[in-house]
Homo-oligomer: A and B are copies of this chain.
Amino acid sequence: MTGRRGRVSSTLPAEDLMLHPGHLLRRALQVMNLLWDEEVSHTVTSPQFATLNALHREPHGLDQRTLGRRVSLDRSTMAEVVSRLSAKGLISTERDARDGRRKTITLTARGSTVLQQLIPRTHLMTRRLVGALDQREQDELLRALTAIVAANERA
């Protein structure tokens, strides 16, 4: 009998990763990215879409840091995303006149058009992503993910 007392030298069985929410989150995101490519765009990624969306109806634009907070990207990553969107002509950047540290990011006309075209496609993608779930399960998923994110808003 492998008792409860003393050191147990035998190794534990391998973990079933399918029971680990963390592992499943990674896999689900992989699926999402796959569907994004198929249904939404080959050129604009989902973080890029989120960025364009955050700039929509912000006539004065947003500085890079604030933009990052809105779409949940850190400084470094936001800088790269901004650089790529800028190269594609979907946003324009300008140094803030009042605060020399800040960079003001604005949606270009082309960026706005692209955003409008992409929005309905994201909904199609989402339908495929959660298509295997019934309405109640979809609601539960949204609630659960929101709770997880909200519980770690700190920092």
Contact = CB atoms under 8 A, between A and B. Distances in A.
Nearest to A112: B11
Assembly stoichiometry (copies): 2
Contacts of A137: 140, 143-144, 147
Interface string A9-37: 00111110111111111111111101110
B20 A122 contact: yes
Which has the most chain B C-beta neighbours within 10 Å: A15, A122, A138? A15
A1 interface: no
A19 to B, nearest CB: 7
Contacts of A71: 17
Contact of A11 (B21, B32, B56, B155): B56
A143 to B, nearest CB: 7
Contacts of A151: 31, 131-132
A106 interface: no
A109 to B, nearest CB: 11
Interface string A135-151: 00110111111111111
B147 A144 contact: no
Contacts of A14: 53-54, 56-57
Given A130-B148, A131-B151, A22 B122 contact: yes
9 closest Cβ pairs, A-B complex: A24-B145, A132-B151, A14-B56, A141-B144, A140-B140, A31-B152, A132-B147, A22-B32, A27-B149
